[in-house]
Amino acid sequence: VFQDMARRECDFINGTERVRFVDRYIYNRQTYAMFDSDIGHFVGFTPFGERNAEYWNSDPAKMEHVRTAVDWYCRPNYPIAAPFSVERR
């Protein structure tokens, strides 16, 4: 059995003032490539991931789409995530 998955995370620091988007690509419980909005580009952790990261970083349309994910993916979902992450004490 093989497992291939993508995991997207939004880290809300100080409400929506500081938001971090992380997109991880995982194969058999090993992260092979990752996009971090703080870094601004894809990073590969295995030879396969490095090839994919290089290809994705060379595509301007994909890079624009993923760099703006903080605005279209994270911030609209903040009201859903806030009761579980912010208001719990």
**Residue 49 and residue 25 in contact, taking contact as beta carbons nearer than 8 Å:** yes
pTM of the predicted structure, to 2 decimals? 0.82
Q: What's the CATH class of domain 4-86?
A: alpha beta
What pLDDT score does 83 carry? 62
DSSP string, 47-77: HHHHHHHHHHHT-HHHHHHHHTHIIIIIGGG
Structure tokens of 32? 């092979």
pLDDT of residue 40: 94
- According to the model, what pLDDT value does residue 84 have? 63
Show me where the domains of the chain are located. Answer: 4-86
Q: Give the pLDDT of the chain (89 residues) as one tens digit per residue.
A: 789 999 999 888 877 788 899 999 999 999 999 999 999 999 999 999 999 999 999 999 999 999 999 989 988 877 776 666 555 55
